[in-house]
Amino acid sequence: MRRRARPQAGFLLAGLIALAWLGAAACVNFRPAVQPPGLEVESLVVCRNAAFSGGLHVAEGAARTFGLDIPSLFALASLRDIDRGIALRFKWYAPDGVLARDSGPMPVDPGEKYLDKVTAFDRLDFAPGRIEPREGAWTVVLFLDETPADQTSFNIKK
Amino acid sequence: MKPPTQRRQRPGRPARRPRPAPGAAKKFRGAAAFLLTALLTASAAPGAAGPSAGEASAKRAVLRVEAEYIAYSFDRHAFIARNASFDLPPYRVSCGTLRADLSARAFLALGGVVLTREGESLRADALSFDPAASGALLLDYGDSLEARSLTLGAGADAAAAAPPPPAKLRAAEAVSLAAVRGSLLYAVCRSLDITPAYDAFGRDVVLYVEGLESVGFRSLKLSAAEAALSRRPGLSLNSLWFSRDRGIRGRASYSVLDPGRADSLTRLEYEEHSVIKDFPGPARQADLTTDSSWTLRPDLGLGFRGNANTSGLLDARLWLDKSWAQKKLSTRWDLTLSRPVGQPVETWLGLKAAYDAGGAGRLAAAGRLGSAGQAVGDFSYAARLGGNLDFQASSLYTRVRRGADGARSSILDGRLRLSYTSRLFNLASDYHLNADLAEGRTLRSPQLRMESGPLPFYGGLLQAGLSNVFIHNTLGGKGSSSSSYSNNTAFRLSAAPVPLARGLLLDFSLALEQFLEKEGRNFTSGGAVVNLKRRWPAGVTLEGFYSLQSRRRTRGGLLEGTTSQDLSGVLRLQPSEGLNAWVAASYDPKNGRFKQSFADLTLAVIRGWRFHSLLQYDFVLNKLSNVDLYLIRDAGRFELRLMWRSLSRQFLVELLPK
């Protein structure tokens, strides 16, 4: 003889689910979401090359560790919602804290236009006797109007 | 050279920041709200959402962050805040950006960092810290990178306050706005509390599912999904689910985590089967397991492990660890109570001791006494004699209950091993004795093993290896004795890849094996594998394998055996990072027919989603034997998989921690 499912267990399950949904719904509100305050740095990456694609630069060979034989490195920044003129600046620091390269100010002027995305890069060329690719942790800092806005580190190893 | 900056402008847009279209947001709110409440109901601990949770979190927060904009990623358990301010006693801190990886307990304040307290103000470009630690690091990016240590906390010892290690700074740096906004699930708010367990509670939170604005909460434990993915202190409802084959299933756990003092995890699993029609087993089933350890002193520890279920199984073990002389000598007392299903209860009391005598070797001895006259004892000694010689000796005596009539086994097992290791070859001599004292039988088995290291020829173009194993067995008992022996010799030769032309490589390996034994069942085996690989610059590779295996048996001048051949080819395509595909087919040259074929395709779709398919075609049955289709979302610490498998006709949704 086949045993039938107990109907009270089904009611119990339905009740539990309804209670859980009601409990969750009681905490819900419908306020508008907080919006970010204007211009933003979306990302800063160190890569082997900055290629051009779709009107913007894209990182090629992005990594956090590079070999001693690397001839040059790129720092690629991506920014959003540019509605005013700004100045970008990249500073590269060697493992001992010495400033290896300063890009100087790089102005971005949208004029009267609104730019939803901007990419910018700076290149560090290693040259014997000038900028040696020393082993250790290097740091790149992106300045926005002379204020640090993003930073990233990478390692150079044998 | 191209200009260093590139811009993309939306035509006809005014010079202002865009707002999301209200119609589009409303369109997805309903669906996203349904998904979210279901997810949170299933995975959140009790009290995860609601005003009480938020008020409670504020009281015990180690950090309260107020900001113009905070975005928290559920995928990565990390957040980024703009124009933030927070208390880091004894300072009040403000900064342009605060980014934190809560799993790594790493925080980085960046841009215009100002620390103020009564009569004092400090300025820096960056601040690396952990709110639960007393050391922090101030960084300045001027003509050189300068770092200053900072002591936090009212009574903190400046000398003992170590700044965060560089790894923490790297972890916080890796949190970017693009990564947070690219999450499967992220939330935005203006106020966030971090608890001592590094959970995050947000107030007036709006959630985003795959970038689509969805439901908002007055207060929400943002790391609620953490409970489902990893172990959290306190009581957690890990899962509550219904399936048609097992009924209602629930899993809850209670965890205590006090690093260096206590570590306890108790889990309860419950299944209610009565809701399923004609379920063949019991109406319900529960299983309770607990695993706890306490460190009473650095040299004294206590532990308990237990398991009980409604089937009648009971298993409990209590142990006490004690060590002396910087843990060179250690002991463990343990008491075990065990009742397997349908078996009588057994109790065991044991003592285990180990002594590390450094260069003189390591000695270990253990003994256990069980109910009904059972006993187990073992002894082992291992030492390195000089630079290349190793000596190992071990013995084990067991007297345990065998069968239902109360009979007991009595077995003594002993091993001796002396081995020599060098760059050219390894040599090992073993002696194994197994004596069944109750039955009066013994097995003695001396063995000699030799293996040469890979020997290079022709400047490393070829590598050869030879190994040999000789075993002599003597079985004795009740006045009789018999002996047997066997010897197995193996030779391997392999070649490094040889470039035949540009982009064309060939490599091969050969193996030959001869097995001899006293009874005359002798085998000769041989095999060869050839691999040809052709590469083209556009990410296309074609590979071909051919293998030939033969096994022959010689008996009284007769030769019998089998030979098998296999030919297979693989075509790989990887023209870009987003596309990866391969097709493979295997062919049986002996019978002149194809065997089977596989095809695999992985394609990046959008926002971390990728499509993956695996097809298998069977030429013998002449049909597509299986198709697996996956839609996978890489979501930081976990992976969401939607999978369809034709073989079992199943559609599966999986959430896998990485």
**Residue pLDDT tens, chain A, 158 long:** 444 555 566 677 777 777 776 666 666 666 777 888 888 899 999 999 998 888 899 898 889 899 988 999 999 999 998 988 999 999 999 999 999 999 999 999 888 888 889 999 999 999 888 888 889 999 999 999 999 999 999 999 98
**Cβ–Cβ gap A153/B6 under 8 Å:** no
Question: From the CA of A25, how many Å to the nearest CA of chain B?
Answer: 8
What is the rounded distance in angstroms from the CA atom of residue B282 to the CA atom of residue A133? 69
Q: Which of A125, A39, A71, A138 is nearest to B170 (CA)?
A: A138
Q: What is the pLDDT of residue B32?
A: 43
In chain A, which residues have their Cβ closer than 8 Å to the Cβ of B9?
A: 110, 113-116
DSSP B458: G
Closest by Cβ to B6, choosing from A30, A57, A116? A57
Which chain A residue's Cα is nearest to B180? A42
Neighbouring-strand partners of residue B360: none
Q: Which amino acid is at A43?
A: S
Position A96 in a domain: yes
**Residue B41: its chain A contacts at CB < 8 A?**
20-21, 23-24
pLDDT of residue B51: 43
Spatial CB neighbours of B211, under 8 Å, sequence gap ≥ 6:
B181, B607
- Among A20, A80, A148, beta carbon nearest to B126: A148
- The span from the CA of B532 to the CA of B499, in Å, is 10
Pick the residue of B1, B2, B9, B271 with the most A CBs within 10 A to test the interface with A by mutation. Answer: B9
d(CA B155, CA B149): 16
Q: Are strands A147-157 and A65-67 parallel, antiparallel or unpaired?
A: parallel
**Whole-number pLDDT of residue A6:** 57
Task: Tell how strand B300-309 and strand B314-324 pair up.
Answer: antiparallel
Q: How far apart are CA A128 and CA A121, in angstroms?
A: 23
- If you count DSSP H runs as helices and E runs as strands, how many of each does chain B have, helices first? 5, 41
CB contact under 8 A, B217 and A3: no
Could you tell me if residue A138 is inside a domain?
yes
Facing residues of A100 across strands?
none
A125 touches chain B (CB under 8 A): no
Structure tokens at B299: 């040299």
Residues of B within 8 A of A117 (CB-CB) are 7-8
Angle between helices B22-43 and A7-26 (to 10 degrees): 130
> Alpha carbon B186 to chain centroid distance?
26
Cβ of A41 within 8 Å of Cβ of B177? The answer is: yes
Minimum-distance CB partner of B275 among A5, A147, A148? A5
- Pairing type for strands B284-297 and A136-144 reads unpaired
The CATH number of residue A137's host domain is 2.60.40.1930
Contact A27 B275 (CB under 8 A): no
Judged by CB atoms closer than 8 Å, whether chains meet at A97 and B147 is answered as: yes
Q: How far is B133 from chain A (nearest CA, A)?
A: 23
pLDDT for position B25: 42
**Cα A145 to the chain's mean position, in Å?**
18
CA distance A113 to B308: 70
Residue B41's nearest CA partner among A26, A98, A111, A61 is A26
Burial of B638 (0-12, 13-18, 19+ CB in 10 A): buried
**Beta partners for residue B230, in sequence order:** none
Contact A5 B173 (CB under 8 A): no
Position A26 scores a pLDDT of 61
Task: With beta carbons less than 8 A apart as the criterion, state whether B215 and B49 touch.
Answer: no
Query: Do the beta carbons of residue A93 and residue A139 sit within 8 Å?
Result: yes
Q: Which of B145, B183, B204, B213 to probe the A interface (max A CBs under 10 A)?
A: B145
Please tell me the predicted confidence (pLDDT) of residue B558: 67
Residue A35: inside a domain: no
B436-494 per-position pLDDT tens digit: 988 889 999 999 999 998 888 888 888 999 999 999 999 988 788 899 999 999 999 99
State the pTM of this model: 0.63
Residue A18 lies inside a defined structural domain of this protein: no
CA distance linking residue B190 with residue B423, whole number of Å: 64
B592: which residues sit within 8 A by CB, 6+ positions away? none
Instruction: Burial-class residue B250 by CB neighbours within 10 Å (0-12, 13-18, 19+).
Output: middle
Q: Does residue A16 sit within a domain?
A: no
Closest residue in A to B178 (Cα) is A42
Q: How far is CA B616 from the centre of its chain?
A: 29
**Residue A143 falls inside a structural domain:** yes
The answer as to whether A123 is a domain residue is yes
In the chain, the amino acid numbered B81 is A
Q: How many CA atoms lie within 13 A of B594 on its CB side?
A: 12
Strands (E), chain A: 28-29, 40-47, 49-53, 56-60, 65-67, 72-82, 86-93, 99-102, 106-108, 115-125, 136-144, 147-157
Say how many C-beta atoms besides its own lie within 10 A of residue B264's C-beta: 17
Domain that holds residue A134: 40-157
Closest CA to B565 of B540, B583, B586: B586
If one counts the domains in chain A, the total is 1
| Cα separation, A79 vs B8, whole angstroms | 11
Contact between B438 and B408 (Cβ < 8 Å):
yes
Distances (CA, A) of B247 to A132, B238, B241, B271, B272: 66, 17, 8, 7, 6
Q: Looking at residue B658, what is its pLDDT?
A: 67
Residues 6+ apart with CB under 8 A from B571: B540, B541, B542, B543, B582, B583, B584
Residues of B within 8 A of A29 (CB-CB) are 204, 216-218
Partners of B126 on chain A (C-beta within 8 Å) are 148, 151
The shortest C-alpha distance from B181 to chain A (Å) reads: 9
pLDDT score at B17 = 42
Check B5 against A114: CB less than 8 A apart.
no
Each residue of B585-619: b (16+ CB within 10 Å) or e? bbbbeeeeeeebbbbbbbeeeeebbbebbebbbeb
Give the span between the Cα atoms of B285 and B302, in whole angstroms: 31
If you ran DSSP here, which 8-state letter would residue B607 be given? T
For B68, name the nearest residue in chain A, comparing CA atoms only. A37
Interface probe for A, chosen from B2, B8, B17 (most Cβ of A below 10 Å), is: B17
- Can you tell me the ipTM of this complex? 0.85
Residue with tokens 């095999």: B527
Structure-derived torsion over alpha carbons of residues B599, B604, B610, B613, reported in degrees to the nearest 10: -10
List CB contacts (< 8 A) between B111 and chain A. Answer: 144, 147-149
Q: State the Rg of chain B over Cα.
A: 34
Total number of residues shown for chain B:
658
| Number of C-beta neighbours around residue B270 at 10 A | 16
Exposed e or buried b for every residue in B148-184, given b needs 16+ CB within 10 A? eebebeeeeeeeebebbeeebbbbbbbbbbebbbbbb
Hey, how many other C-beta atoms are within 10 angstroms of the C-beta on B500?
A: 12
A158 CB neighbour count, 10 Å cutoff: 6
Whether the Cβ atoms of residue A41 and residue A76 lie closer than 8 Å to each other = no
| Whole-angstrom distance, CA of residue A140 vs CA of residue A135 | 15
Nearest CA in chain A to B42: A20
A139 in a structural domain = yes
Sheet of B78-88, strand order: A28-29, B212-221, B200-209, B185-194, B63-73, B78-88, B91-101, B106-117, B120-129, B135-141, B145-151
Nearest to B125 among A29, A80, A148 (CB): A148
Structure tokens, B571: 């075509």
Number of inter-chain CB pairs under 8 A, A vs B: 197
Q: Which residue is associated with the tokens 């009290």?
A: B47
CA distance readout (Å), B611 to A78, B279, B641: 27, 37, 10
Residue ranges of chain B whose pLDDT lies below 70: 1-59, 154-161, 223-232, 404, 555-559, 658
B454's CB contacts (< 8 A; 6+ apart) are B463, B464, B465
pLDDT at A1: 44
Are B451 and B465 in contact, with CB atoms under 8 Å apart? yes
CA–CA gap between residue B604 and residue A153 (Å, rounded): 28
Tell me what pLDDT residue B224 has: 54
